[in-house]
Structure 1
Amino acid sequence: MEPEVALLAQSAGTTVVALMATDAWQHLRDGITRLWRRAQPERADTVAAELEAGREDVLAAVAADDRQTLDELRLQWQGAVRRLLVAHPSAVQELRALLDHLDPEGSAARQITQHATASGQGRVYQAGRDQHITER
Protein backbone atom coordinates (compact mmCIF):
# COMPACT_ATOMS: atom_id res chain seq x y z
CA MET A 1 0.00 0.00 0.00
CA GLU A 2 3.00 2.32 0.28
CA PRO A 3 2.85 3.65 -3.34
CA GLU A 4 -0.88 4.32 -2.91
CA VAL A 5 -0.23 6.13 0.38
CA ALA A 6 2.59 8.17 -1.17
CA LEU A 7 0.41 9.22 -4.10
CA LEU A 8 -2.51 10.13 -1.83
CA ALA A 9 -0.19 12.08 0.47
CA GLN A 10 1.25 13.97 -2.50
CA SER A 11 -2.23 14.86 -3.70
CA ALA A 12 -3.25 15.88 -0.18
CA GLY A 13 -0.20 18.12 0.27
CA THR A 14 -0.92 19.89 -2.99
CA THR A 15 -4.62 20.23 -2.25
CA VAL A 16 -4.10 21.47 1.31
CA VAL A 17 -1.74 24.23 0.22
CA ALA A 18 -3.84 25.20 -2.82
CA LEU A 19 -7.06 25.44 -0.80
CA MET A 20 -5.46 27.44 2.02
CA ALA A 21 -5.74 30.51 -0.20
CA THR A 22 -9.40 29.94 -1.17
CA ASP A 23 -12.87 30.22 0.27
CA ALA A 24 -12.66 26.50 1.10
CA TRP A 25 -10.11 27.28 3.81
CA GLN A 26 -12.38 26.78 6.84
CA HIS A 27 -13.75 23.49 5.54
CA LEU A 28 -10.21 22.35 4.81
CA ARG A 29 -9.00 23.29 8.30
CA ASP A 30 -11.96 21.62 10.00
CA GLY A 31 -11.68 18.45 7.91
CA ILE A 32 -7.93 18.00 8.36
CA THR A 33 -8.19 18.71 12.10
CA ARG A 34 -11.05 16.21 12.41
CA LEU A 35 -8.98 13.60 10.54
CA TRP A 36 -6.08 14.08 12.98
CA ARG A 37 -8.41 14.14 15.98
CA ARG A 38 -9.66 10.65 15.06
CA ALA A 39 -6.26 9.19 14.20
CA GLN A 40 -3.89 11.03 16.56
CA PRO A 41 -5.94 13.04 19.07
CA GLU A 42 -2.84 14.14 20.97
CA ARG A 43 -1.57 15.95 17.82
CA ALA A 44 -4.84 17.47 16.61
CA ASP A 45 -4.40 20.86 18.31
CA THR A 46 -0.82 21.12 17.04
CA VAL A 47 -1.94 20.30 13.49
CA ALA A 48 -4.72 22.91 13.72
CA ALA A 49 -2.13 25.52 14.76
CA GLU A 50 0.19 24.42 11.93
CA LEU A 51 -2.68 24.82 9.47
CA GLU A 52 -3.32 28.37 10.71
CA ALA A 53 0.37 29.30 10.47
CA GLY A 54 0.65 27.58 7.10
CA ARG A 55 -2.26 29.57 5.75
CA GLU A 56 -0.52 32.83 6.65
CA ASP A 57 2.61 31.57 4.87
CA VAL A 58 0.58 30.55 1.81
CA LEU A 59 -1.18 33.91 1.56
CA ALA A 60 2.14 35.75 1.83
CA ALA A 61 3.77 33.46 -0.74
CA VAL A 62 0.89 33.85 -3.19
CA ALA A 63 1.02 37.64 -2.82
CA ALA A 64 4.78 37.61 -3.47
CA ASP A 65 4.60 34.93 -6.20
CA ASP A 66 7.03 32.90 -4.06
CA ARG A 67 6.84 29.45 -5.66
CA GLN A 68 9.68 28.05 -3.59
CA THR A 69 7.80 28.63 -0.34
CA LEU A 70 4.65 27.10 -1.82
CA ASP A 71 6.64 24.05 -2.92
CA GLU A 72 8.16 23.72 0.56
CA LEU A 73 4.73 23.93 2.17
CA ARG A 74 3.36 21.28 -0.21
CA LEU A 75 6.22 18.98 0.74
CA GLN A 76 5.71 19.69 4.44
CA TRP A 77 2.03 18.71 4.29
CA GLN A 78 2.76 15.78 2.00
CA GLY A 79 5.17 14.39 4.61
CA ALA A 80 2.81 14.99 7.52
CA VAL A 81 -0.08 13.28 5.74
CA ARG A 82 2.08 10.36 4.60
CA ARG A 83 3.29 9.74 8.15
CA LEU A 84 -0.29 9.87 9.43
CA LEU A 85 -1.49 7.39 6.81
CA VAL A 86 1.39 4.99 7.40
CA ALA A 87 0.71 5.01 11.14
CA HIS A 88 -3.08 4.86 10.68
CA PRO A 89 -4.05 3.12 7.41
CA SER A 90 -7.70 3.36 8.41
CA ALA A 91 -7.49 7.12 7.75
CA VAL A 92 -6.95 6.58 3.99
CA GLN A 93 -10.64 6.36 3.14
CA GLU A 94 -11.53 9.35 5.32
CA LEU A 95 -8.82 11.45 3.68
CA ARG A 96 -9.96 10.46 0.19
CA ALA A 97 -13.54 11.41 1.05
CA LEU A 98 -12.39 14.75 2.46
CA LEU A 99 -10.32 15.57 -0.63
CA ASP A 100 -13.15 14.56 -2.95
CA HIS A 101 -15.55 16.77 -1.00
CA LEU A 102 -13.23 19.78 -0.88
CA ASP A 103 -11.92 19.53 -4.43
CA PRO A 104 -14.29 17.29 -6.42
CA GLU A 105 -12.61 17.99 -9.75
CA GLY A 106 -9.14 17.50 -8.31
CA SER A 107 -8.21 20.87 -9.78
CA ALA A 108 -5.92 21.85 -6.90
CA ALA A 109 -3.94 18.64 -7.21
CA ARG A 110 -3.68 18.88 -11.00
CA GLN A 111 -2.40 22.41 -11.25
CA ILE A 112 0.45 22.42 -13.74
CA THR A 113 2.92 25.20 -14.39
CA GLN A 114 5.35 24.91 -17.25
CA HIS A 115 8.15 27.19 -18.37
CA ALA A 116 10.33 26.72 -21.43
CA THR A 117 12.76 28.67 -23.55
CA ALA A 118 13.97 27.82 -27.01
CA SER A 119 16.33 29.76 -29.21
CA GLY A 120 17.73 29.43 -32.65
CA GLN A 121 16.21 26.35 -34.21
CA GLY A 122 15.41 24.74 -30.88
CA ARG A 123 12.00 23.29 -30.20
CA VAL A 124 10.00 22.93 -27.02
CA TYR A 125 7.34 20.28 -26.53
CA GLN A 126 5.35 20.46 -23.30
CA ALA A 127 2.28 18.62 -22.15
CA GLY A 128 0.26 18.33 -19.01
CA ARG A 129 -0.85 14.87 -20.06
CA ASP A 130 -0.36 12.69 -23.10
CA GLN A 131 1.63 14.05 -25.98
CA HIS A 132 2.14 12.46 -29.38
CA ILE A 133 4.58 13.99 -31.81
CA THR A 134 5.12 12.73 -35.31
CA GLU A 135 7.91 14.38 -37.26
CA ARG A 136 9.23 13.37 -40.61
Structure 2
Amino acid sequence: MDPIVLAAGTALVSAMATDGWQQVRNATVAWWRGAARADDDAEAVGADLDAVRPQIVTARQEGDEDTEQALIGAWRLRLQQLVRDQPHLAAELRRLVEEELTPALSAGERSRVGSIVMKARASGNARIYQAAGDQHITERATDVER
Protein backbone atom coordinates (compact mmCIF):
# COMPACT_ATOMS: atom_id res chain seq x y z
CA MET A 1 0.00 0.00 0.00
CA ASP A 2 1.24 3.47 -0.84
CA PRO A 3 2.89 5.14 2.20
CA ILE A 4 0.83 8.30 1.75
CA VAL A 5 -2.36 6.22 1.86
CA LEU A 6 -1.17 4.58 5.09
CA ALA A 7 -0.47 8.00 6.60
CA ALA A 8 -3.74 9.47 5.33
CA GLY A 9 -5.89 6.68 6.73
CA THR A 10 -4.26 6.96 10.13
CA ALA A 11 -4.41 10.77 10.19
CA LEU A 12 -8.03 10.88 9.03
CA VAL A 13 -9.32 8.46 11.66
CA SER A 14 -7.17 10.02 14.38
CA ALA A 15 -8.47 13.49 13.47
CA MET A 16 -12.04 12.26 13.94
CA ALA A 17 -11.45 12.28 17.69
CA THR A 18 -10.19 15.88 17.81
CA ASP A 19 -11.89 19.19 18.50
CA GLY A 20 -10.90 20.35 15.02
CA TRP A 21 -12.85 17.56 13.39
CA GLN A 22 -15.34 19.72 11.50
CA GLN A 23 -12.57 21.60 9.69
CA VAL A 24 -10.80 18.33 8.86
CA ARG A 25 -14.07 16.81 7.67
CA ASN A 26 -14.78 19.78 5.40
CA ALA A 27 -11.26 19.70 3.94
CA THR A 28 -11.51 15.95 3.35
CA VAL A 29 -14.88 16.23 1.62
CA ALA A 30 -13.60 19.11 -0.54
CA TRP A 31 -10.54 17.04 -1.50
CA TRP A 32 -12.74 14.05 -2.31
CA ARG A 33 -15.05 16.23 -4.39
CA GLY A 34 -12.09 17.29 -6.52
CA ALA A 35 -10.68 13.78 -6.62
CA ALA A 36 -13.86 11.90 -7.41
CA ARG A 37 -15.11 14.51 -9.86
CA ALA A 38 -18.65 13.94 -8.63
CA ASP A 39 -20.41 15.88 -5.87
CA ASP A 40 -22.61 12.99 -4.81
CA ASP A 41 -19.55 10.78 -4.15
CA ALA A 42 -18.05 13.48 -1.93
CA GLU A 43 -21.31 13.96 -0.06
CA ALA A 44 -21.54 10.21 0.53
CA VAL A 45 -18.00 10.31 1.92
CA GLY A 46 -19.02 13.17 4.22
CA ALA A 47 -21.97 11.16 5.49
CA ASP A 48 -19.72 8.14 6.03
CA LEU A 49 -17.23 10.26 7.96
CA ASP A 50 -20.05 11.57 10.15
CA ALA A 51 -21.25 8.03 10.80
CA VAL A 52 -17.78 6.75 11.75
CA ARG A 53 -16.82 9.61 14.06
CA PRO A 54 -18.88 8.43 17.06
CA GLN A 55 -17.34 4.97 16.68
CA ILE A 56 -13.78 6.28 16.93
CA VAL A 57 -14.66 8.60 19.82
CA THR A 58 -16.19 5.67 21.72
CA ALA A 59 -13.28 3.39 20.83
CA ARG A 60 -10.83 5.96 22.19
CA GLN A 61 -12.82 6.39 25.40
CA GLU A 62 -12.96 2.64 25.94
CA GLY A 63 -9.37 1.97 24.88
CA ASP A 64 -10.63 -0.23 22.05
CA GLU A 65 -7.56 -0.36 19.81
CA ASP A 66 -9.04 -3.11 17.62
CA THR A 67 -11.96 -0.95 16.53
CA GLU A 68 -9.65 1.99 15.88
CA GLN A 69 -7.36 -0.15 13.74
CA ALA A 70 -10.32 -1.58 11.84
CA LEU A 71 -11.57 1.93 11.04
CA ILE A 72 -8.11 3.01 9.96
CA GLY A 73 -7.88 -0.04 7.70
CA ALA A 74 -11.27 0.65 6.13
CA TRP A 75 -10.35 4.24 5.26
CA ARG A 76 -6.94 3.18 3.98
CA LEU A 77 -8.62 0.74 1.59
CA ARG A 78 -11.02 3.39 0.40
CA LEU A 79 -8.22 5.90 -0.18
CA GLN A 80 -6.03 3.25 -1.83
CA GLN A 81 -8.76 2.48 -4.35
CA LEU A 82 -9.09 6.14 -5.25
CA VAL A 83 -5.32 6.59 -5.64
CA ARG A 84 -5.03 3.35 -7.59
CA ASP A 85 -7.69 4.54 -10.04
CA GLN A 86 -6.15 8.02 -10.29
CA PRO A 87 -2.42 7.88 -9.42
CA HIS A 88 -2.00 11.65 -9.76
CA LEU A 89 -4.09 12.02 -6.59
CA ALA A 90 -1.21 10.79 -4.41
CA ALA A 91 0.40 14.24 -4.48
CA GLU A 92 -2.91 15.92 -3.62
CA LEU A 93 -3.51 13.42 -0.83
CA ARG A 94 -0.05 14.22 0.58
CA ARG A 95 -1.00 17.90 0.62
CA LEU A 96 -4.25 17.09 2.44
CA VAL A 97 -2.35 15.08 5.05
CA GLU A 98 0.36 17.70 5.55
CA GLU A 99 -1.80 20.83 5.48
CA GLU A 100 -5.13 19.73 6.95
CA LEU A 101 -5.10 16.37 8.72
CA THR A 102 -1.78 16.29 10.56
CA PRO A 103 -1.99 19.85 11.97
CA ALA A 104 -5.27 18.91 13.69
CA LEU A 105 -3.51 16.18 15.69
CA SER A 106 -1.63 16.34 18.97
CA ALA A 107 2.13 15.85 18.89
CA GLY A 108 1.74 12.25 20.02
CA GLU A 109 -0.79 11.53 17.29
CA ARG A 110 1.43 13.12 14.66
CA SER A 111 4.18 10.62 15.37
CA ARG A 112 1.79 7.80 14.43
CA VAL A 113 1.08 9.35 11.05
CA GLY A 114 4.48 10.10 9.56
CA SER A 115 6.63 7.71 7.68
CA ILE A 116 10.36 7.77 7.37
CA VAL A 117 12.23 6.59 4.32
CA MET A 118 15.98 6.36 4.56
CA LYS A 119 18.27 5.41 1.72
CA ALA A 120 22.02 5.18 1.76
CA ARG A 121 24.77 4.01 -0.52
CA ALA A 122 28.28 3.25 0.58
CA SER A 123 31.38 2.20 -1.26
CA GLY A 124 34.92 1.39 -0.36
CA ASN A 125 35.52 1.72 3.37
CA ALA A 126 32.58 4.04 3.95
CA ARG A 127 30.28 3.59 6.91
CA ILE A 128 26.67 4.61 7.12
CA TYR A 129 24.81 5.33 10.33
CA GLN A 130 21.08 5.95 10.10
CA ALA A 131 18.49 6.35 12.81
CA ALA A 132 14.92 7.51 13.08
CA GLY A 133 15.60 8.69 16.61
CA ASP A 134 18.54 9.17 18.92
CA GLN A 135 21.78 7.59 17.85
CA HIS A 136 25.01 7.36 19.83
CA ILE A 137 28.23 6.27 18.17
CA THR A 138 31.09 5.44 20.50
CA GLU A 139 33.57 4.44 17.85
CA ARG A 140 36.98 6.16 18.07
CA ALA A 141 39.25 6.94 15.15
CA THR A 142 41.75 4.35 16.40
CA ASP A 143 39.02 1.68 16.33
CA VAL A 144 38.46 2.15 12.61
CA GLU A 145 40.69 0.15 10.33
CA ARG A 146 42.16 2.09 7.49
**TM-score band, normalised by the shorter chain?**
0.7 to 0.9
Unaligned runs of 5+ in 1: 113-128
2:69 aligned to which of 71, 83, 94 = 71
**Residue matched to 1:28:** 24
CA contact (8 A) 2:20 2:104 kept: no
Percent sequence identity over aligned pairs: 28
Structure 2: which amino acid aligns with 1:96? R
**Residue matched to 1:111:** 112
**Residue matched to 2:43:** 45
TM-score by length of 1: 0.72
Q: Superposed, which structure 2 residues align to 1:1-136 within 5 Å?
A: 6-40=2-36, 41=38, 42-102=40-100, 103-104=102-103, 107=107, 108-111=109-112, 129=132
CA contact (8 A) 1:14 1:109 kept: no
CA contact (8 A) 2:13 2:72 kept: yes
TM-score by length of 2: 0.68
Deviation of the 1:109 alpha carbon? 4.8
CA contact (8 A) 1:39 1:91 kept: yes
Unaligned runs of 5+ in 2: 114-131, 137-146
Change over 3 Å in CA distance of 1:22–1:104 after alignment to 2:
closer
Alpha-carbon distance between aligned partners in 2 of 1:104 and 1:21, rounded to the nearest angstrom: 13
Structure 1: which amino acid aligns with 2:71? L
